[in-house]
Chains A and B, each alone.
Chain A
Amino acid sequence: MSTSDYWQKVAEATRNLPDHKLLDVVALIDRLPDEGRPLHVLEAMRGRLTRLRPPRRLTIQRLLFLPVEDLFDPPDAYRRKIGRLSRAVIRVCWRTLVERGDAALIESTARRLKGLETHEPAELMPVAAPLWRSAAATLADAHAIAERDRMAGVKMFGRDDDLLRQVGDIAIIFGIGEPIMTAKFELPAKPIQSISAGQAEMLTRMIAQLGSSQLVLAKTFVLVLAARMARPGDLLEVLDSARFPCQVTERDTMVREVEASIIANLVREAQALRSTAKAPADPVAATETARRLVEGLTSLRSSMKSLSEPATMAHIQSARREIAGYIMGNVIDRAERTMASLIGADAGSAGSSIETLSEPQLEATEALALSLRHCAGMGEAVGIQREVAAKLRVVCDSLARSIDALNLTPEAQERRLYGTLRLIEMIEGPEAAEALWLKGLERLGFGPAM
């Protein structure tokens, strides 16, 4: 078997591996020298790696693309004209840098990178910043040549104008690599749920400073960081508070472009759920996906200029419908079946009763219950609150009935009582759980104070 056949088989085999085994494979691959690393195997795992986010070895390429990474989409999910980048452009940019850039700097940076003991900002930034600056200059130069000289442009980047646009965007991002990475280091990990007033002040200062040089720099900075936010609307508020030395119309145009890009990307992701639904995700992961999109959409303020446009509103409505369908199919229905098997174990159907579950199984069941709670929270935002509430009512009623099992030992009864109460608390709330708790204590004779 040739080496490439071997790696092809590895890539195929990883599809069915559980998460922890997949991470072991990634760690092994990351230990291989750069020239021997089977990148296509990693590419085959990309979707799951994005979700699992294991710590990865920092190679020279990964270091270079750190400021850009949040805008990348897999080639098959990439959509034009919304300010995103296809992962396929990495190869093009890297080739351009190797052919036209400062080879000595690339080599010395790779050497210094291997010598780093940590990847703390204070150690990393002095190594990376010269590389980003040099890469920005090289790509900007190649981009300018391609725009001036069509033939030369085709030779370097092919005939696709969108690829040229992406190279231009990446050149700009490399040029502001330092402020982008400074902000990323100071902000919470992706997805950023919320930012403090102090962090908002820092971002306002940085945006204003970049915008005072060129508005496009502020726009690019915001687009990169917005891709890290669970609620990009919060960042748009920060952008709104920044002042720039330009005409109001210029500023408004820039803000509108950023808004349009963020909305279009959320809509794209929501529409992509339909294809994901064919290969259903784990309900807990599916809930997280849906929550991220719903949070993103609800963070868009009515004050946003783009939201007054009927076409944009229609897109958002369609995105909401997609998310609603995804929630019902991938979370509610499946979680309902899992809970039913848990409850139905008494009646002899397949599954385990709650008091017999191991700690990991109990945690997984609680995670599922929490997903249902999140779905109830999202119901209103996507217009399915009635359907979700009805389903949850059925699940909770069945759970409540399961507490009354009479054929258990007192210890098992107690374990079932508390295990079930936790699920009901998560799904329906503590009040419902408390009422059942008091009733259960009385009936089982545990006394009011347990």
Chain B
Amino acid sequence: MDQRKETDYVPGSFAERGLTVPFTTPIVAQARVRLDGNDRIEFILPSLSGGKGRYVMPWSTVQSLATTTLHDRALYDRMSPGVIETPAALRRAALQVASKGLAGPKAARAAQAALAADENSQVSANFLLVARLLSLVGMSTSDILDDERRGEVSRTRVRAALGRVADSLTLPKADLYHRVEALSVLISPLGLADAPQPGRLRDLARTLAAFTAEVQNWATSTVADVAQLGSFVGQVANATQAMVQAEIDRFDAALAQPAAIFKAWEGRAGAMKASVARTELLLDGWEYLLGLWRVAAERDNAEKQSAIADLFRLLPMIPKSEGRFASAKEYVDLGNVQRRWVRANEDWRSGRLDFDQVHKIEAIKAQLR
């Protein structure tokens, strides 16, 4: 078994950090996945005792370490180098598995809703992009809606107007249509700033900002040493949120001038794609943690303390390539605190499948968008 403990606590890059896998087996919940040097899938598990280090292993070792749920076996079955290349592809695979009911009926409903919402967000992004382009030739969305109300065929007017936009950009009409479609798909996870329903990642960034304030507040009002973990979690959340916000600001500024993107398509579309990808990577792993805190926040202080210890264990550390936020020593010191707040007698640490814990994870999964 290749069970080496990494000497460093902070990954060098997003590729080294891997992508979070929404497994439901407690011992591997929020494990990370990446390709090894030979393009084989390997998993990174946080230390089981809650202490320092990470375990790196292939799926066969994961299986010998713990009894995994059928959901996780089915999810692994869908994993390929392509699926684990981006958080979006992995998320889609996980939603498809959960939609079958393998993480319980509530998570199935949530997964089906999330898959439908993804489709809708592409339609919504497309509509808003077209509206922005039409405004360049003096046509507003209210004009289109008025046409609809009068029973006139608006599609013809819209096509004509888009044709004028294409002419002004000196682009073939077909190219413009194709680029609008492609950009709609590309930006839909973040969506446009003025969309009535914020994009999934934009919404997640807002929730992360609210969480940051809440957990920092909790840390300052808690006397126990677990508050140090809360403070650290708050710092990492804050730094992540600041980076995400900066990325979203750049994204929104670029999208404010869609004509420029369609004109210089090759370079600008790539930049927009990179912007969405970086936002996705920065936020990868946070959605579950925010759900974990949301559940604990409604309970007593002991639950919050325990949740903070879990958050610390599963914290998506910002890779060194993006900036430096904590020293290894600080991380080790905090790891010592964290170990004191890990509860004993929890079956999942023994590798047995503890379905009470599985249900807790499934309940969080059922809340996710």
A residues bordering B, Cβ < 8 Å?
A: 121, 185-189, 193-199, 201, 231, 234, 359, 362-363, 366, 370, 373, 414-415, 418-419, 421-422, 425-426, 429-431, 433-434, 437, 448-450
Cβ-defined contact, A418 with B101, below 8 A = yes
**Interchain CB contact under 8 A, A195 and B343:** yes
Distance (Å) between the CB of A420 and the closest chain B CB?
10
A189-B343 Cα distance, complex, nearest whole Å: 14
Q: In the complex, are the beta carbons of A422 and B355 less than 8 A apart?
A: no
Q: Which residues of chain B in 36-92 are interfacial with respect to chain A, using CB atoms and an 8 Å cutoff?
A: 67-70, 73-74, 77-78
The closest CB in chain A to the CB of B102 belongs to A418
Q: Which residue of A lies closest to B221 (CB)?
A: A122
Closest A residue, CB atoms, query B101? A418
A362–B309 CA distance with the chains assembled, in angstroms: 33
- B224 pairs with A189, CB closer than 8 A: no
Please determine whether B303 and A188 come into contact, CB atoms closer than 8 angstroms.
yes
Residues on A with C-beta less than 8 A from B78 are 449-450
Q: Among the listed stretches B103-111, B175-183, B189-197, which one makes contact with chain A, having 4 or more residues with CB under 8 Å of it?
A: B103-111
9 new A-B contacts at CB < 8 Å, known A188-B300, A422-B102:
A121-B301, A186-B302, A188-B303, A196-B341, A197-B339, A197-B344, A430-B353, A449-B78, A450-B100
CA distance A197 to B353 in the complex (A): 23
Which residues of the other chain, A, contact B102 by a CB distance below 8 angstroms? 418, 421-422
CA A152 to CA B302, docked complex, whole Å: 45
Assess the B302–A359 pair: CB atoms within 8 A: no
Return the contact of B226 from the options A193, A198, A363 (Cβ within 8 A): A198
3 nearest A-B pairs in the assembled complex, by CB-CB distance: A198-B340, A194-B343, A194-B345
Q: Is B346 an interface residue (CB 8 A)?
A: yes
Among B67, B104, B225, B303, contact of A198 (Cβ-Cβ < 8 Å):
B225
Residues on A with beta carbons closer than 8 Å to the beta carbon of B140? none
Q: Is A366 within 8 A of B100, CB to CB? A: no
B299 CB within 8 Å of chain A: yes
| Nearest CB of chain A from residue B213's CB, rounded to whole Å | 18
* Closest beta carbon of chain A to B29's beta carbon, Å: 15
Asked if A430 and B69 sit within 8 Å, CB to CB, the answer is yes
Q: A186-B302, A188-B303, A359-B106 in contact; A198/B346 too (CB < 8 A)?
A: no
Binding site for A on B (CB under 8 A): 67-70, 73-74, 77-78, 96-97, 100-102, 104-106, 109, 224-226, 299-303, 305-306, 309, 339-346, 353, 355-356, 359
B302 CB contact (under 8 Å) in A188, A231, A430, A450: A188
Q: A194-B343, A196-B343 are in contact. Are A430 and B67 (CB under 8 A)?
A: yes
7 sample A-B contacts, Cβ–Cβ < 8 Å, listed by A number: A193-B343, A194-B343, A426-B355, A430-B70, A437-B73, A437-B74, A450-B74
CA distance A99 to B340 in the complex (A): 48
User: A197–B340 contact, CB under 8 A?
Assistant: yes
Docked Cα-Cα span, A201 to B344, in Å, equals: 13
Q: Are A448 and B77 in contact (CB under 8 A)?
A: yes
Which B residues are CB-close (under 8 A) to A359?
Answer: 105-106, 109
Q: Are A433 and B70 in contact (CB under 8 A)?
A: yes
Task: Report the bound CA distance from A113 to B346 in whole Å.
Answer: 38
Q: Judging by beta carbons under 8 Å apart, are B100 and A418 in contact? A: yes
Name the distance in Å between B245's Cβ and chain A's nearest Cβ: 32
* B309 CB contact (under 8 Å) in A195, A196, A429: A196
Closest CB-CB distance, B97 to chain A, in whole Å?
A: 7
Question: How close is B175's CB to chain A, nearest CB, in angstroms?
Answer: 35
- Of all chain A residues, the one with the shortest Cβ separation from B74 is A450
Q: Quick one: closest A residue to B93, CB to CB?
A: A449
A293 to B156, CA, bound (A): 74
Task: Please tell me if the beta carbons of A449 and B77 are within 8 angstroms of each other in the complex.
Answer: yes
Contacts of B305 in A (CB 8 A): 196, 198
Q: Please, how many angstroms separate the alpha-carbon atoms of A450 and B316 in the complex? A: 30
Residues of A within 8 Å of B104, CB to CB, are 363, 366, 422
CB within 8 Å for A425 and B70 given contacts A231-B345, A448-B77, A450-B96? yes
User: Which residue of chain A lies nearest to B224 when distances are taken between CB atoms in the complex?
Assistant: A198
CA distance A425 to B100 in the complex (A): 14
A84 CB, min distance to chain B CBs, angstroms: 25
A448 to B76, CA, bound (A): 12
Q: Which residues of A contact B225 (CB under 8 A)?
A: 198
Question: Contact between A430 and B73 (Cβ–Cβ < 8 Å)?
Answer: yes
CA distance A344 to B109 in the complex (A): 27
* CB closest residue in chain B, given A202: B224
Given A429-B67, A429-B353, A430-B73, is A194 in contact with B302 using a C-beta cutoff of 8 Å? no
A430 to B104, CA, bound (A): 14
CA gap between A363 and B109 in the complex, in Å? 12
Q: Shortest Cβ distance from A50 into chain B, in angstroms?
A: 18
CB-nearest residue of chain B to A419: B101
Verify A415–B105 contact, CB threshold 8 A.
no
- Residue contact A430 to B68, C-beta cutoff 8 Å: yes
| Residue of A231, A234, A363, A425 with most chain B CB atoms under a 10 A cut-off | A425
Residues of A within 8 A of B301 (CB): 121, 185-186
Q: CA A231 – CA B341 in complex, angstroms?
A: 18
What are the residues of chain B within 8 A of A363 when measuring CB–CB? 104-106
Q: How far is the CA of A197 from the CA of B225 in the complex (A)?
A: 12
Query: B105 and A362: CB pair below 8 A?
Result: yes
Q: What A residues does B309 contact at CB under 8 A?
A: 196
B103 — nearest CB in chain A belongs to which residue? Answer: A422
Closest to B104 in A: A366
In-complex Cβ contact of B100 among A196, A199, A414, A429 (8 A): A414
Given known contacts A189-B300, A199-B302, is B67 in contact with A373 (CB within 8 Å)?
no
Q: How far is the CB of A76 from chain B (nearest CB, A)?
A: 31
Contact, CB under 8 Å: B303 / A194:
no
* Interchain CB contact (< 8 A) of B69 among A121, A187, A362, A425: A425
Contact B346 A194 (CB under 8 A): yes
CA distance A363 to B362 in the complex (A): 12
CB pair A434 B70 closer than 8 Å: yes
B77 cross-chain contacts in A, Cβ below 8 A: 448-450
With contact pairs A430-B67, A450-B74 given, residues A415 and B101 touching in the complex (Cβ less than 8 Å): yes
CB atoms of B341 and A198 under 8 A apart: yes
Instruction: Write the chain B residue with the least CB distance to A415.
Output: B101
Residues from chain A with a CB closer than 8 A to the CB of B353 are 429-430
Chain B residues closer than 8 Å to A231, beta-carbon distance: 345
Question: Which residue in chain A gives the minimum CB-CB distance to B309?
Answer: A196
- Kindly list chain B residues whose C-beta atoms are within 8 Å of the C-beta of A450: 74, 77-78, 96-97, 100
A contact residues around B299 at 8 Å (CB): 189
Q: Are B344 and A194 in contact (CB under 8 A)?
A: yes
List chain B residues, Cβ under 8 A from A415: 101
Question: What's the nearest-Cβ distance from chain B to residue A191, in Å?
Answer: 12
**CB nearest neighbor in A for B100:** A418
Docked-complex contact B226 and A189, CB < 8 angstroms: no
CB nearest neighbor in B for A121: B301
Q: How far is the CA of A308 from the CA of B301 in the complex (A)?
A: 39
Would you call B303 and A189 a contact (CB within 8 A)?
yes
Residues of B within 8 A of A189 (CB): 299-300, 302-303
Judging by beta carbons under 8 Å apart, are B67 and A188 in contact?
no
A415 and B108 alpha carbons, distance in the complex (Å): 11
